[in-house]
A = this chain, B = another copy of it.
Amino acid sequence: MMLKFPSLWIKNATLGDRIANELRLRILENEMKPGDVISENQIAGRYGTSRSPVRDALKALSLDGLIRLERMGAVVQGMDLKDIQELYDVREMIENFAQQRVSKKNVSVLVQKLQQSIDKMELAAKYNDHSEFAYYDLLFHETIVRHADHKRIFNLWSSMKPLIMAVILVTTEQVFSYGSDHVEWVIGKHRTIVRAMQSKDRAVIEKSVNQYFDDSRHTLTESFRPDSSD
């Protein structure tokens, strides 16, 4: 039943987390559509578990904004193009904050770690492994936020991480389907980020972060045809 989510990522995850990850993908891929009403019992039945882990999962999904808990049943909200662009707005805000903060310190250690992530992305690209690629894309950005050395910002990132993970997983799959040129272009964007950060110039960094997420939003606009998945 649970096949979609890369099992490597969730080796020690609790049942609730697995169900949450699974449902995130199903909602993002429009298998569960906005307006659909789901209940704890229904999902528990579907996955052959009790309500307890499902309950945790639905709570998590409601924090993501993917569903809305109501008195009887939960209503799927889903994410349309605008919602995903808003998610990128927030990612841009967080990452700009983080990078500005990072740039006031020595970045050599950070740059080296980022380079490692980029290398792994290259490798994943070579072997056409889109979920591995997505993983290191996510790690790249998490590494930046972590190095900002700001607990609350990192907490913010962590709270959005499962959702971002699911979105990156879906969009990366699409990017791969466009061919290796597009994949290389994505890698190049990450190199650009690193270079901008090394400049340590406030305006340059802000511009580069803005450019990065503008590009991402633009890619979305192309790939997310309205209701293309029906």
Contact = CB atoms under 8 A, between A and B. Distances in A.
Interface in A39-94: 56, 59, 63, 65, 83, 86-87, 89-90, 93
A63 B153 contact: no
A44 to B, nearest CB: 15
Contact of A151 (B63, B83, B156, B159): B83
Nearest to A156: B90
Contacts of A195: none
Interface string A156-195: 1001000000000000000000000000000000000000
A105 interface: no
B159 A63 contact: yes
Interface in A91-112: 93, 97
B65 A150 contact: no
A152 B59 contact: no
A221 to B, nearest CB: 17
A223 interface: no
A156 B93 CA distance: 12
A116 interface: no
Interface in A112-142: none
A155 interface: yes
Contact of A83 (B83, B90, B152, B159): B152
B59 A153 contact: no
Interface of A: 56, 59, 63, 65, 83, 86-87, 89-90, 93, 97, 150-153, 155-156, 159
Closest 9 CB pairs between A and B?
A86-B152, A65-B155, A90-B152, A87-B152, A86-B151, A93-B97, A86-B150, A159-B159, A63-B159
21 contacts: A56-B59, A59-B59, A63-B63, A63-B159, A65-B151, A65-B152, A83-B151, A83-B152, A86-B150, A86-B151, A86-B153, A87-B152, A89-B97, A89-B150, A89-B152, A90-B153, A90-B156, A93-B93, A93-B97, A156-B156, A159-B159
Given A65-B152, A89-B150, A90-B156, 10 more contacts: A56-B59, A59-B59, A63-B63, A83-B151, A86-B150, A86-B152, A87-B152, A89-B152, A90-B152, A93-B97
